[in-house]
Amino acid sequence: MKTNAVVSFKGLKEIKAVINLTGSKSESNRALIIAALSKGTVKAENLSDAADTVVLNQILTDLAHPSATERRTVNVGHAGTAMRFLTAFLSTLPQQFTLTGSKRMQERPIGILVDALKSLGADISYEKNEGYPPLLINGGLNATLSEVSIKGNVSSQYLSALLIIAPTLPNGLLLHILGGLTSRPYLEMTLNMLATAGVTHKWEEDTIRIEHQEYQPSVLTVEPDWSAASYWYSIAALVIQADITLTNLKEESLQGDSQIQQIMSHLGVNTLRADHGIQLISAADAPLAEVMNLKDCPDLAQTIIVCAAVKKLNLSFTGLETLKIKETNRVLALQTELAKIGVTLTEDNEVYTLNCDQLVFPEKVTISTYDDHRMAMAFAPLSLVIKEVEIEDYQVVEKSYPDFWKDLQKAGFTVEEI
State residue 316's pLDDT score. Answer: 96
Amino acid at 52: D
Task: Report the amino acid identity of residue 209.
Answer: R
Residue 357 pLDDT exceeds 90:
yes
What is the pLDDT, as a whole number, of residue 109? 94
Average pLDDT value over all residues in the chain: 94
| DSSP-derived secondary structure letter, 400 | T
Q: Are strands 96-100 and 71-75 parallel, antiparallel or unpaired?
A: parallel
Percent of the chain with pLDDT over 90: 87
pLDDT tens-digit map of 274-288? 878 999 999 988 888
Outline where DSSP puts E strands in 340-404: 344-348, 351-355, 364-367, 388-391
Given a cut of 80, is residue 102 above it in pLDDT?
A: yes
How far is residue 9's CA from residue 411's CA, in Å, rounded to a whole number? 9
- State the Cα–Cα distance between residues 257 and 226, nearest whole angstrom: 6
- Indicate the pLDDT class of residue 165, thresholds 50, 70 and 90: very high
Looking at the DSSP bridge assignments, the partners of residue 18 are 245
pLDDT at 318: 95
DSSP 61-105: HHHTS--SSSEEEEE-TT-HHHHHHHHHHHHTSSSEEEEE--TTG
Cβ burial, residue 362 (10 Å; 0-12/13-18/19+):
exposed
Rg from Cα positions in the chain = 22
Please give the Cα distance from 87 to 368 (Å, whole number). Answer: 31
Q: What is the mean pLDDT of residues 99-114?
A: 96
Residue 34 confidence (pLDDT): 98
Any bridge partners for residue 366, and if so which?
A: 390
- Kindly indicate the confidence band of residue 397, based on its pLDDT and cuts at 50, 70 and 90: very high
Distance CA 253, CA 189 (A): 9
DSSP helix/strand/coil, 375: helix
Angle at 209 between CA 207 and CA 212, to 5 degrees: 160
Q: Please, what's the largest Cα pairwise distance for the chain? A: 66
pTM: 0.85
pLDDT given for residue 197 in this prediction: 98
pLDDT at 225 over 80: yes
Residues 6+ apart with CB under 8 A from 44: 28, 31, 32, 34, 35, 219, 220, 222
Give the chain's count of helices (H) and strands (E): 12, 22
Burial of 348 (0-12, 13-18, 19+ CB in 10 A): exposed
Q: How do residues 14-39 score in pLDDT, each as one tens digit?
A: 999 999 999 999 999 999 999 999 99
What are the catalytic residues?
Answer: 299
Residue 251 has pLDDT above 80, yes or no: no
Domains of the chain: 5-23+223-417 (3.65.10.10), 25-221 (3.65.10.10)
**What pLDDT does residue 305 have?**
97
Please give the Cα distance from 45 to 21 (Å, whole number). 15
Give the Å distances, CA to CA, from 360 to 30, 197, 238, 366.
42, 52, 15, 14
What tens digit of pLDDT does each residue of 166-203 get? 999 999 999 999 988 888 999 999 999 999 999 999 99
Q: Is-contact 120 141, C-beta < 8 A?
A: yes
Gap between the Cα atoms of 178 and 136, Å rounded: 27
Asked if residue 381 lies in contact with residue 357, where contact means CB atoms within 8 angstroms, the answer is no
Residue 231 CB neighbour total at 10 angstroms: 28
